[in-house]
Structure 1
């Protein structure tokens, strides 16, 4: 998993509350067995009309938000079913960081397992970011995970809280498998001793 230390990226707004996982990645696209390739289906029913054409009214389809890597949204982001495909789609689309006031617990945990930084800010701070995103075309945020700080080029500076274990997870680029492999020598030694006991 790619380590996350700092990110300087365009902000892509999805100005809605209670964005659920079925909106993030609709159920008809869950048949794929690969973890990649889901980005094309992100927010599918909002991004496209019934004929498959881009909906020009959906925020992320606007040219000013192309290439965004910071997703900005409202309260209770990622609610609904526990499908891990939701963070897969978000990451595959190009987002490395999400900023919202609150998240559904399972979605929040799944983000860390897939190299995405979900930041919690107050509703007032999120509203300020929405206003700045609307005001400045190509609006960017610099996200510094090492110092738990968010800044922009107009003087904004926010700090955010994050569990230290999860912060280290992202800083070191570790998922559950990578964390386990840090103890590979101990695991190998244990297995060797266990094998000796079995066949002694």
Structure 2
């Protein structure tokens, strides 16, 4: 499945400074029985976003109108820990987020995000604190995530920090490819190689 290309994103951000957010909180296990990829946006952080009667919890950042429409989530340290469920990354994308910024990610969650079109950006703890402070002071604070130059910038002050990403995954994000799309894109090269290489 192809995804929207990721080049340079400037957006406001949802702040979620809680540490050790695990994948069962991101998408509770009871929603993993689905055979189709539907309602993952609705059930994203389901138990944190809603009361048992289904009404929204107004204090939860993802429910606050002041952050509505943000394409970035700034999360606490060790974001995406726990089980390896790919559904957690699906729910991030389906909710409308294209980037999650944190000072530390669980490796499997990070890779799952890269596979489904979500850019996980790891920054220093100090820079994450700077982002949180700016968002709390002004919910309309914008952050620019520049994938070609691998840099995150706080628009209001110009404070920035570089981030690291695997070159293969970077190229796929820039082109809107998943692994299958990448292989299809180099199909002619694969065919040519197969014709000249004995097996």
Same-fold status (TM-score > 0.5): yes
**2 CA distance for matches of 1:149 and 1:186?**
32
RMSD: 2.0
| Residues 102-133 of structure 1: per-residue CA shift (max 9 Å, x gap) | 11111111111101110000111101100000
* Cα deviation, residue 150, structure 1: 1.7
Q: Which consecutive segments of 4 or more residues in structure 1 shift more than 4 A?
A: 186-193
SS of 2:128's partner is helix
Stretch of structure 1 that moved more, 79-88 or 57-66:
57-66
**After the TM superposition, which of the residue ranges 126-135 and 138-147 deviates more from structure 2?**
138-147
* Contact 2:98/2:119, CA 8 A, preserved across alignment: yes
Q: Secondary structure at the match of 1:71?
A: strand
Displacement of 1:190 after TM fit?
7.5
Q: Tell me what 1:155 maps to.
A: 158
TM-score by length of 1: 0.90
Aligned-partner Cα distance in 2 for 1:186–1:72: 40
Q: Deviations over 1:80-106 (max 9, x none)?
A: 111100010000101000000111111
> For residue 175 of structure 1, what is the aligned residue in structure 2?
178
Give the corresponding residue for 1:196.
Answer: none
Please state whether the residue corresponding to 1:99 is helix, strand or coil.
strand
Give 3-state SS (helix, strand or coil) of 2:144's partner.
strand
Correspondences of 1:1-200 after superposition (within 5 Å): 1-151=3-153, 152-188=155-191
1:29/1:99 Cα in 2 relative to 1: closer, same or farther (>3 Å)?
Answer: same
The gaps in structure 2 that reach 5 residues or longer are none
Q: What does the per-residue CA deviation read over 1:60-95, in whole Å, with 9 as the maximum and x for residues that have no partner?
A: 111111111101011111111111000100001010
CA–CA distance in 1 between the matches of 2:194 and 2:149?
40
Q: Number of matched residues?
A: 195
Contact 1:5 1:144 in 2 (8 A): yes
- Contact 2:12 2:139 (C-alpha < 8 Å) held by counterparts: no
> CA 1:168–1:190 in 2, change beyond 3 Å: closer, same or farther?
closer
Following TM superposition, by how much is the alpha carbon of 1:35 offset from its aligned partner in structure 2, in angstroms?
A: 2.6
Q: What SS does the corresponding residue of 1:39 show, helix, strand or coil?
A: coil
User: 1:190 and 1:123, CA in 2 relative to 1: closer, same or farther beyond 3 A?
Assistant: closer
